């Protein structure tokens, strides 16, 4: 997946992206296989000044990061935070049924 902002900022934007999971299986259990390619459910990113696309911590030059959805039925959500200077804001959360 990739992450973009609609307007470039004059300074770097940093933040984190978090994978969430809500099972809907008969036996509602978390699926530890749901993770970013880093092996975690949280990944740091930077959007360099005057650009629109995030670069992820696993490879600072990578414009995208992979994740795996696991095998338990449920919904995967993506949420995060953005920070530039003293301003910090949260992303809207989206759910992807799977």
Residue 93 lies in a domain: no
Range of the domain at 72: 13-87
State the pTM of this model: 0.82
How many domains are there within the chain? Answer: 1
Tokens representing 56? 């992820």
Residue 96 lies in a domain: no
**Region of residue 71 (phi > 0: left; psi between -120 and 50: alpha; otherwise: beta):** alpha
Tell me, what's the pLDDT at 83? 94
Residue 94 lies in a domain: no
Residue 8 lies in a domain: no
Q: Tens digits of per-residue pLDDT, 20-79?
A: 998 887 778 899 999 999 999 999 999 999 999 999 876 667 788 989 988 888 888 889
Top-confidence residue, 14 or 25: 14
Residue 82 lies in a domain: yes
Residue 6 lies in a domain: no
């Amino acid at each position: 997946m990739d992450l973009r902002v609609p307007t470039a900022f004059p300074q770097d934007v940093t933040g984190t992206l978090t994978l969430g999971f809500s099972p809907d299986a008969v036996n509602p259990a978390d699926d530890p296989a749901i993770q970013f390619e880093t092996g975690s459910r949280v990944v740091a990113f930077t959007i360099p000044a005057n650009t629109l696309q995030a670069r992820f911590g696993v490879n600072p030059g990578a414009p995208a990061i992979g994740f795996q959805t696991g095998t338990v039925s449920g919904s995967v959500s993506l949420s995060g935070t953005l920070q530039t200077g003293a301003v910090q804001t949260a992303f809207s959360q989206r759910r992807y049924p799977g």
